[in-house]
Amino acid sequence: MDADRLRILIVEDEAAHAEAIRRAFQNADLETEVELAGSLRDYRAAVAAGAPDLALVDLNLPDGRALEILSAPPESGAFPILIMTSYGNEQIVVEALKAGAFDYVVKSASAFAAMPRVVARALREWKLLQQRQQAERELRQSELRFRTVARLSSDFAYSCVRTEAGDYVVDWISESFYTLTGFDDAALREHRSWLFAVHPEDRQGFLELLQSLKPGHSATGELRMVARDGSIRRFAHWMECEAEPETPGGLRFYGAVRDVTEQRRGEVEKQRSTIESEPSLERESARGPMSGDADRLAGASVRDLKAPLRDIEECARRLAERCGERLEAEDAARLDRIRQAASQMERLIDGLLG
């Protein structure tokens, strides 16, 4: 069969009806190959031999009802199925659509003659539906990749917006926040941001730093956090501010936070040590020839970490170019958010590991 020709499967036990539909396609401009089947058994055999582009199936057949071959929602099937019925009964129509029919046709001479136009419209709608599904799958995959990179690149990352009242509300945070602090999502929703976990002595300073940030500016610092069990740990943080007119406060903040408790503890212990430092020559000797390799490996690990982010940005860009006009406003906004967040996370990695 010519790959460019549409394969239409007509499942109809009334020979005159099937022939009328076949002639309509024969006389139309559509490049089609029409196959006839007279029962559900014949339908299953034809599909097993090769899925058609579309099936026109009579509701009542000698060995059962067309509802038996439907799957809901319609897009979960391999191809669209249009149900044909001799009666325009509303209850029958609702039943067929709920069962997974892509559309329905009430049989008549004029309906048979118009069948090529009905099929062409159904195939256009089916194609748009498939493209939207693909766009949604790629969008979900991009979100998953971003969350994974965010989890790997820092101990936790977040995104928050400023409200008109001047409060800060988190709309995304990586799962590792809960692991590090012991708090759950209910606590975060109650307080609206993770600032409740910041040590009371450090909270005001962190808020002042947030309030001082302007769009396009970034800041770094350290703070202590009090976990649910009362333990205190020290974190380095990196933040960046962006203008976002769509939010009430007009500002969005991206941030990454890294646990430096053990690092700072080691520095304190080193300062307390009374052992004199080695001469610089001895230190260089102690480092040995492998130190340069270690530096190169560290640089390579940073590049490896940023590679998935670039992949996310590229995937999101292609998705926007290919399906942007067909995406609903909410999905398009989410896609744009992913691109922005991936770019922000790349800068966060540079800030934390640079």
pLDDT tens, 199-234?
Answer: 999 999 999 998 899 998 989 899 999 999 999 999
pLDDT, tens digit (0-9, with 9 covering 90-100), for 34-47: 899 999 999 999 99
Report in angstroms the alpha-carbon separations of 94 from 83, 89, 340.
11, 9, 43
pLDDT at 128: 87
pLDDT at 192: 92
- pLDDT of residue 292 exceeding 70, the answer is no
- pLDDT of residue 141 exceeding 80, the answer is no
Q: How does the average pLDDT of the chain come out, rounded?
A: 81
**Among the listed residues 29, 28, 44, the one whose alpha carbon sits nearest the alpha carbon of residue 9:** 44
- pLDDT of residue 306 exceeding 80, the answer is no
pLDDT at 142: 65
Higher pLDDT, 268 or 17: 17
Structural domains of the chain, ranges and CATH numbers in brackets: 6-113 (3.40.50.2300), 133-272+302-353 (3.30.450.20)
**Among the listed residues 329, 308, 169, the one whose alpha carbon sits nearest the alpha carbon of residue 249:** 169
Instruction: Indicate the pLDDT class of residue 282, thresholds 50, 70 and 90.
Output: very low
Q: Report how far residue 87's alpha carbon sits from residue 100's, in angstroms, rounded to the nearest whole number.
A: 19
Q: How many CB atoms lie within 10 A of CB 159?
A: 20
Instruction: Indicate the pLDDT class of residue 314, thresholds 50, 70 and 90.
Output: confident
**Residue 208 DSSP code:** H
Mean pLDDT, rounded, for 237-265 = 86
Q: What is the CA radius of gyration of the chain?
A: 31
The DSSP-derived string for 336-353 is HHHHHHHHHHHHHHHHHH
pLDDT, tens digit (0-9, with 9 covering 90-100), for 82-134: 999 887 677 887 888 888 888 888 888 999 999 999 998 999 899 888 888 88
Residues 6+ apart with CB under 8 A from 43: 9, 11, 37, 55, 57, 69
Cα angle 57, 59, 63; round to 5: 90
How many residues comprise the chain?
354
Mean pLDDT, rounded, for 299-316 = 64
Q: Report how far residue 162's alpha carbon sits from residue 196's, in angstroms, rounded to the nearest whole number.
A: 16
- pLDDT of residue 55 exceeding 70, the answer is yes
pLDDT, tens digit (0-9, with 9 covering 90-100), for 154-175: 578 888 898 888 889 998 888 8
Number of H helices, E strands in the chain: 12, 12
pLDDT at 182: 93
